[in-house]
Amino acid sequence: MVSTATQIGDFHFDNCLMNAAGVYCMTREELAEVDASAAGSFVTKTGTLAARAGNPEPRYVDTDLGSINSMGLPNQGFQYYLEYVTELQNQPGSKHHILSLVGLSPDETHTILKTVQASDYEGLVELNLSCPNVPGKPQIAYDFEMTTEILTEVFTYYTKPLGVKLPPYFDIVHFDQAAEVFNQFPLVFVNCINSIGNGLVIDDESVVIKPKQGFGGLGGDYVKPTALANVHAFYQRLKPSIQIIGTGGVRTGRDAFEHILCGASMVQIGTALQQEGPAIFERVTAELQAIMAEKGYETLEDFRGKLNYID
C-alpha cells in the first residue's frame, strides 16, 4: 500500500498535496472546494489587518512556462479566514488547515498574531515574509535584520504553531545567513518558495500585467529548479524540528516527488492549480503514488531528503 500521508508539527494530513497561498483561497467558497478535493489541506490567502482590494487588473496572467502576478495582497481581512479555519477546526473529522497572515507593518503583524494567540484557533499559521507585490514594501525576508527583529518580538507572546513563507534565495551565503536566522526560533516549518519576485513578461511590445509597469512574481515551470534548490538548501541547514513545505513549479507527480526528495514534508501547488482547478489534486496524487509504487516506496519517509549527489 502506497501512502502520501504526512505530518507537520503535531498535525496529520492524509495527503501531502495542497494549494499554495494565493491560489483558490480568497473566499470560503474557494477554500471549501479545495477542502472537498483530494488535497490534504488548504492554506488561506494571506490575510491582512483590514480587507484589501489589491492592485488594478490585469494582475495575473498565464504564460507558456507558468504565470506572472502582481495581485497586491487582495484579501477579505484576516478575521474572515481566522473565523473559517476556527469553524472547521471544531467540526469532527475535519482536515487540518493553515492560516496565512501578514501585516503591512511590523506593528500590524503583531496586532494580527496577538489576536490569533488570544483566539480559539489552535492550528498552523504561516507568516508570509515574502510578498513581492505591494508597491513600496520590500520582501521582509530579504532583510535578515528586520526578519530577526520581527520573529524575536513574535515569540515573546506567540506560543501556537508558526511557520514562515520565504522568498527564493539565490546565493549560498544567503542560504547560510537565512538558516542561521530561522534556527534561532521555535518555528514549525518554513515554506520554500514564494514566487520569484519582479519578473517581466512581454507580449508583442507590451507588458502583460498592469501594476508596477508589468513587474510581477513568477510561478510555474520557470521556478521549479529555484524552488528545489531552496527546499534542499534549507533541508540541509535547518534544525530537524523545522520542517519544509515545498512550493514552486509543481504540476505533475514527478514534480512533487522531486520536492519530497529534496526534503519537503508537504507540497503545495500554485500556478498549475490556478490553470487546472482542484481536480489537479487527484491527478497529481495518482501520479506520485505510481512513481512511489514503481520504486517500491510505501511512505514519504522512504525517500524524503534522500537526494543523490554525484561523488
* Residues noted as catalytic: 131
State how far the Cα of 161 lies from the Cα of 187, in Å rounded to an integer: 7
DSSP letter string, 82-135: HHHHHHHHTSTTPPP-EEEE--SSHHHHHHHHHHHHHSS--SEEEEE-----ST
C-beta of 4 vs 195, nearer to ligand RRO: 195
C-beta of 22 vs 278, nearer to ligand RRO: 22
Question: Cβ of residue 131: shortest distance to ligand RRO, in angstroms?
Answer: 4
Question: Cβ of residue 198: shortest distance to ligand RRO, in angstroms?
Answer: 10
Question: Cβ of residue 47: shortest distance to ligand RRO, in angstroms?
Answer: 10
C-beta of 128 vs 285, nearer to ligand RRO: 128
Q: What is the DSSP letter of 280?
A: H
Q: Is 46 annotated for ligand binding?
A: yes
Q: Which cell goes with 31?
A: 477554500
Q: Is 249 annotated for ligand binding?
A: yes
Q: Is 220 annotated for ligand binding?
A: yes
Q: Which residues of this chain interact with ligand RRO, rule CB under 6 A? A: 22, 46, 69-73, 128, 130-133, 194-195, 217
Q: Which cell goes with 267?
A: 507540497
Q: CA 74, 234, 82, 117: dihedral to nearest 10 degrees?
A: -130
Question: Cβ of residue 191: shortest distance to ligand RRO, in angstroms?
Answer: 10
Q: Is 70 annotated for ligand binding?
A: yes
Q: Is 45 annotated for ligand binding?
A: yes
Q: Is 71 annotated for ligand binding?
A: yes
Please, where are the H alpha helices in the chain?
A: 28-36, 78-89, 106-118, 144-157, 172-182, 224-237, 253-261, 271-276, 280-295
C-beta of 100 vs 265, nearer to ligand RRO: 100
Cβ(307)–Cβ(232) below 8 Å: yes
The continuous run of DSSP H or E covering 190 comes out as: strand 189-192
Planar angle of CA 259, 305, 221, nearest 5 degrees: 15
Question: Cβ of residue 164: shortest distance to ligand RRO, in angstroms?
Answer: 12
C-beta of 134 vs 229, nearer to ligand RRO: 134
Q: CA 105, 110, 111, 114: dihedral to nearest 10 degrees?
A: 160
**Residue numbering of the annotated binding site for substrate:** 45, 69-73, 128, 194-195
**Residue numbering of the annotated binding site:** 45-46, 69-73, 128, 165, 193-195, 220, 248-249, 270-271
